[in-house]
């Protein structure tokens, strides 16, 4: 019994102190017990088990006489909560506080003493090994419980969002059905299979994985089906109404920092010196007159020569970042061949001409194509939101 007595001394005041550092990593390494324990408890699966037993298939909402069940809302809320993730600083603070309470609880050491006796520990080595396992198990169960509590709170907070999302999806699918634009099951399955493959699972394994996290895979499929069908609805209804001009693309590219980094501007400048403040008005009038006679970059040198004291500069190819504002933005928003309005510089009045624009590496086709696609998508989103709003206003929605 002398070994047992010494082993008990190890835990008399500091069993968990030695295991408290790095509590979360230890919990994470405890053979997946955190996740498995959470997934094995149907009562914690976003309330799905409870809903199906207690009226989960009852009708919660009618959208144009088509039902949305309480189970569907609960499942969607669980899916939304799952997407929201968790953890972070808030979870860490809660874990640290909970662990401190466990360490200070006298019953923690009492249970370990009982464990020592039950395992008939006869040496300090055996006691230390059992102590390490006991600490890891405590940490795993603690993190397990915190995750269940966080998920329960997240699901509860997601029910209203889930209900609104399902109402919108019902309206989208009704409109898709009316236009014969509903996507087929094979397309939805293909997308879900792709997600499963990226996670190194078969679709059946992925479905089981989702089920373990409290979400029926059909909940994910339903969302995909609605969104894909809705995109087709929007394309059919508004495709001919969305027209993106070259000017739209120019302005979008000009105001996109990543695009600016890849573009170069070929510019020329005429500067008219200003000796004193009274001469500014005269120089602006002369600049305006030159603007009227401008016939392209090839005429800039001759225009400068026609005004006493004017200076012509072919500045060549410049990065936008090397040109001061507001001239930079004006040039980025101009088309090739444009002459900017007269601007006042330091003791000068200036005329800037954009002769050409090009991307590094030869052509800016990909940049412009991406810009055009993004602009089209934004236009579609605006029209889609308006159409959905109209559908919702015209719909008969009964919340029970």
CA distances from 312 to 273, 280, 289, 329, 351 (A): 12, 18, 16, 22, 10
Same domain flag for 48 and 182: yes
Of 179, 204, 238, the one marking the end of a domain is 238
Same domain flag for 290 and 181: no
Same domain flag for 255 and 174: no
Of 238, 264, 294, the one marking the end of a domain is 238
| Mean pLDDT for the stretch of residues 23-50 | 38
pTM score, whole prediction: 0.52
Report the share of the chain in percent with pLDDT over 90: 31
Instruction: Dump pLDDT digits (tens) for 273-313.
Output: 887 767 788 888 888 899 899 999 999 999 999 988 889 99
Report the share of the chain in percent with pLDDT over 70: 76
Please report whether residue 368 resides in a domain: no
For helices 106-118 and 124-178, the axis angle rounded to 10 degrees is: 110
Cis omega (within 30 of 0) on the bond before 326? Answer: yes
From the list 108, 101, 127, 136, the residue with the least C-alpha distance to 23 is 136
- Cα(34)–Cα(331) distance, integer angstroms: 59
Same domain flag for 78 and 120: yes
Quick check: helix, strand or coil at residue 69?
strand
Same domain flag for 178 and 226: yes
Please report whether residue 396 resides in a domain: no
Please report whether residue 382 resides in a domain: no
Same domain flag for 209 and 355: no
Same domain flag for 255 and 214: no
Q: Which CATH number goes with the domain that contains 353?
A: 3.10.50.40
Same domain flag for 285 and 326: yes
Same domain flag for 216 and 324: no
HSE of 390, CA atoms in CB hemisphere, 13 A = 7
> Given this model, what pLDDT does residue 45 score?
40
Please report whether residue 395 resides in a domain: no
- Cα(133)–Cα(117) distance, integer angstroms: 15
Q: What count of residues does the chain have?
A: 400
The total number of structural domains in the chain stands at 2
Instruction: Dump pLDDT digits (tens) for 203-258.
Output: 999 999 888 888 899 999 999 999 999 999 998 988 888 888 777 776 776 666 55
Same domain flag for 205 and 232: yes
From the list 272, 287, 288, 258, the residue with the least C-alpha distance to 360 is 258
Of 173, 206, 238, the one marking the end of a domain is 238
Please report whether residue 371 resides in a domain: no
Instruction: Dump pLDDT digits (tens) for 145-198.
Output: 777 776 666 667 788 899 999 999 999 999 999 999 999 999 999 999 999 998
Please report whether residue 376 resides in a domain: no
Please report whether residue 106 resides in a domain: yes
Same domain flag for 42 and 187: yes
Instruction: Dump pLDDT digits (tens) for 69-117.
Output: 999 998 998 888 777 654 555 667 778 888 888 888 888 888 888 888 8
Please report whether residue 70 resides in a domain: yes
Same domain flag for 252 and 234: no
Determine the structural domain holding residue 54 and report its residue range. Answer: 2-238
């Amino acid at each position: 019994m002398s070994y047992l007595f010494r082993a008990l001394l190890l835990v008399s005041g500091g069993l968990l102190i030695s295991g408290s550092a790095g509590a979360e990593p230890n919990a994470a390494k405890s053979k997946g017990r955190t996740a498995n324990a959470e997934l094995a408890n149907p009562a914690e699966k976003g309330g799905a088990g409870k809903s199906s037993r207690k009226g989960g298939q009852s009708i919660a909402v009618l959208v144009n006489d088509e039902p949305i069940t309480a189970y569907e809302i609960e499942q969607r809320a669980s899916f939304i909560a799952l997407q929201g993730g968790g953890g972070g600083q808030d979870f860490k603070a809660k874990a640290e506080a909970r662990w401190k309470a466990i360490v200070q609880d006298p019953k923690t050491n009492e249970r370990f003493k009982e464990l020592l006796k039950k395992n008939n520990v006869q040496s300090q080595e055996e006691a230390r090994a059992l102590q390490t396992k006991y600490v890891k198990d405590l940490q795993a169960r603690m993190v397990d419980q915190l995750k269940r509590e966080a998920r329960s709170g997240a699901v509860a907070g997601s029910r209203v969002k889930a209900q609104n999302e399902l109402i919108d999806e019902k309206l989208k699918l009704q409109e898709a059905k009316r236009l014969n634009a509903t996507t087929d099951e094979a397309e939805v399955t293909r997308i879900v299979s792709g997600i499963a493959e990226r996670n190194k699972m078969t679709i059946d394994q992925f479905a089981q994985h989702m089920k373990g996290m409290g979400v029926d895979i059909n909940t994910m499929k339903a969302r995909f089906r609605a969104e894909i069908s809705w995109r087709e609805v929007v394309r059919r209804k508004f495709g001919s109404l969305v027209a993106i001009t070259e000017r739209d693309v120019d302005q979008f590219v000009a105001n996109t920092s990543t695009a600016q980094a890849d573009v170069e501007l070929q510019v020329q400048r005429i500067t008219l010196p200003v000796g004193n403040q009274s001469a500014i008005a005269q120089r602006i009038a002369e600049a305006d007159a030159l603007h009227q006679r401008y016939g392209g970059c090839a005429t800039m040198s001759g225009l400068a020569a026609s005004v006493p004291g004017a200076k012509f500069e072919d500045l060549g190819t410049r990065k936008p970042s090397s040109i001061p504002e507001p001239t930079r933005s004006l040039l980025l928003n101009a088309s090739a061949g444009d002459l900017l309005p007269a601007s006042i510089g330091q003791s000068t009045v200036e005329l800037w001409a954009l002769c050409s624009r090009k991307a590094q590496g030869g052509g800016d086709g990909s940049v412009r194509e991406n810009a055009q696609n993004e602009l089209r998508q934004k236009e579609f989103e605006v029209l889609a939101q308006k159409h959905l709003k109209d559908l919702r206003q015209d719909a008969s929605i009964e919340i029970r």
